[in-house]
Structures are given as C-alpha cells and as structure tokens.
Structure 1
Amino acid sequence: MTKTRPTIVIAAGGQATRMGGNKPRQLLAGRTLLDHALTWAMDHSDDVAIAVRGKDQIAELPIPLLIDRIEGIGPISALDNAFRYAEQKARDSVMLIGCDQPFLPGDLANRLAREIATNGCAMPVSHGRDHPMAALWRVDCAALADYIDGGGQSLWRFADAVGVTRVDWGDGCDPDTFANINDPAALAKAESQLSPRSD
C-alpha cells in the first residue's frame, strides 16, 4: 500500500480531433471537462497537476502545469510528466486520469492503493476492459525512460512491463464509470446523464 495519498495528474494534452476543438474547455453541465476533473482530483489528493502539450491549451490556473517533454508519443507523455513531477515532490505513487472522465468512482484512489502491493501499477477493470488512464502507478522514472527510449508508447504494455494488479469493478459497475468523452455524441450522452430530470 502506498504511504501517502497519491499525486493526481490530469492528462489534458490530447489532440481531440473528434471533438472538433479543445477538449479540456468543452462544457458539460455548465462546467468545463477540466473543471470536472479538477474537482474529482482535489477531492482525492492534496497534490494535483495538469499535463498538457502547450500552455495555450488551457486557461491560466493556480495548478502546476506540466508541459510534454516529448512530442508525438501519445498518453505515455502525460505519464512521463506525471512521474517526473511526483519524483520532484518525493511522492512514491501517482494517479493519471483523463480530463474527459467525469464519472470516475469515489473509491478509485483508495481501492487501487490497497491493491497495488509491490507491483508497478494498479489498473481498474470493468466489463472486461482495462482502464490505464485511471490507473495508479508506482513512480519509477528510470523504468519509464528506458521504455520510451526503446520506442514504447503503450500504457498497457508499460503496465505489464512493471507488473500490474488488475482491480475488477465487476459487471455491476455502470458501463460509463470509466468512459472517456471522445466525441460530440459522448458529450451529449454525458450531458443527459448529468442534467436534472424534470417530472
């Protein structure tokens, strides 16, 4: 089990080509997707940062902003940012979440921390699917650097390389719990789920 509450880094640097615009600034129930992610993260950690491709992606916030060190390698660049930031803060673990996951469960951080044991990653699983973008990682900058230097870009393969505990949320878990909002249709669906129902 981790010694402290994990650092949480929000990955907000994706291209968002299917969204037709800047994903972190997309509105959901009157708030940006990034604001939803920040609220969740701050409820579960006292150390939160945001990983982006460039400073122009999001409005200025009183939150540490981590700029991609390596371009063009996908979400693994956000994990690279997260590891380096957490190491600087002397944290032994870090959770990486997407800015587009507004339905993450409240017990996610604690449950993964209980299950990670001596492995390098604890990853939630629901309905037979792994969710590396909502995983807890043991900080190991050297291992990640070696993986990236060797051409590795997959979060799944890195998790397997460092040892992964898969934590199953069960088939009773809402299918949207770990969902990413990747297109306007998914955003509209999430909007309908969060909007108050009228009798």
Structure 2
Amino acid sequence: MKPALVILAGGEGSRIGGSKPQRLLGGVSLLDHALSYARKTNAHLAVAAREERQIGTCEAPVVLDDPSIEGPLGGLVAGLRFANAQGADALLTIPADMPFLPDDLADRLGAAIGENRAAIASSAARLHPVCGLWLPEVLALMPKYLASGRRSLNGLAEEAGFIAVEWPSDPVDPFFNINSVSDLKTAEELLAG
C-alpha cells in the first residue's frame, strides 16, 4: 500500500491561544515536528488547513479544508481529494499537535486495514481518528454522512467500517496531543526526557 499523507492543521487552537501549528516545542514549531515525521514516510505529502495563515511559512503543499465542512472532517475531505489526485491507494492522516507519534504508524495501520475502509490508531482504549489510514472510497460516503448531520471522524470511521489498532500508552502515550499551554509544558518535559 502506498498512501499519501496529510497533516491536519486546520484547528483554531483556541484553548492554546490560537495558531497552534506555529507553537514552539523544543524551539521547533509543532507543524515542523509533524513535517519531520511525515517526511520519513516518503509519501506524497500535504498540509491541510482552513486558511494558509494558520500555518505560516510551510515547505509542503497546502490543501485547504473543505469550507462547507466543520472540524477535522473538512481536512480529511481535502486530504482524500489530494490522495486521489496523487494516484495514492490510501490516505494517512496525522495531526499537527501530536509530536510523539510512533514510527510504525503507517506500517501497522496498513497491515491491519484488511477489508475495512479505515484503520484507526488507538491507545489506552481510546480512538485517535486523526491518526488514521483511509481508503479513497470513503470520499463517496461523505454526502450521505454529512446529510445525517454528523460531523465527527469517529462517526465517519464507523460509517466506513474500520479496525482499531492499539498502541501501548506506557510509559508515554504516543498519541499525546497538545491542546493547552499546560499540555505544551508537559510535552516540553517529555521531550527533555
């Protein structure tokens, strides 16, 4: 399987004071942490954002979230369109705010997907649908899903048919995400070691 990879960076980041992808962790922006991770996969890469101003200067192609769809679902739609344009057979999504992602994310999700349309990362029995491998046909499910009034990635994964792939959360949850100043401080401590 040769997926494209899209970094979901379109959130407002209101709990951290805005511009979350540009926040610094260890002197490096959260987006640059995500880009460094993504480049190791050798996948076709793009960053999905509501507006380019959210991410500042970026050395990767930017795709804009579907403006008619709120939340990360808009970024997923933009990502699936990007993956289709690249001729990829799947889309791996990661967020800009999870700096400790496991190196085996793409491999394990790809190995597990089987007959499902999505494989979603999980840790501590909690799904992380922003870290998912999505097949292109998920895009065709969007009109019906949106008409239902639902907007969550979890709901879309259920609609698509997914498998959860569990990672250990001890000693550090690899899907720790940064939503607040306190989370950023914790991440600094984890990075320091």
TM above 0.5: yes
- Distance of 1:104 and 1:24 partners within structure 2: 16
Aligned pairs (5 A) from 1:158-169:
158-169=156-167
Residue 71 of structure 1: CA displacement?
4.3
- Contact 2:123–2:173 at 8 Å: present in 1 too? no
Contact 1:126–1:175 (CA<8 Å) still a contact in 2?
A: no
Pairs aligned (count): 192
Q: Unpaired segments of 5 or more residues in structure 2?
A: none
- Provide the residue aligned with 1:76 in structure 2: 73
Alignment of 1:51-70 (within 5 A): 51-70=48-67
Residue equivalent to 2:7:
10
Query: Which residue of structure 1 lines up, in the alignment, with residue 155 of structure 2?
Result: 157
Unaligned runs of 5+ in 1: none
Which residue in the other structure is 1:144 paired with?
142
Say which of 10, 25, 30 aligns to 2:27. 30
Question: What's the CA shift for 1:8?
Answer: 0.9
State the Cα distance separating 1:59 from its structure 2 match: 2.1
Displacement of 1:151 in angstroms is 2.3
1:104 aligns with 2:124: no
Match of 2:88 in 1: 91
How far residue 46 of structure 1 moved from its aligned partner, in angstroms, is 2.7
State how far apart, in whole Å, the 2-side matches of 1:186 and 1:35 are: 18
Scaled by the length of structure 1, what TM-score is found?
0.91
- Deviation of 1:173 after TM superposition, in Å, equals 4.1
1:119-198 to 2 correspondences below 5 Å: 119-140=116-137, 141-170=139-168, 173-195=170-192
Equivalent-residue separation in structure 2 for 1:69 and 1:26 (angstroms):
24
> Which shows bigger deviation, 24-33 or 160-169?
160-169
Q: What TM-score comes out, normalization by structure 2 length?
A: 0.93
Identity %: 38
Distance 1:79 1:159 in 2: 11
Q: Give the secondary-structure state (helix, strand or coil) at the position aligned to 1:133.
A: strand
Identify which of 107, 111, 115 aligns with 1:114.
111
- Structure 1: how far apart are the matches of 2:58 and 2:123? 33
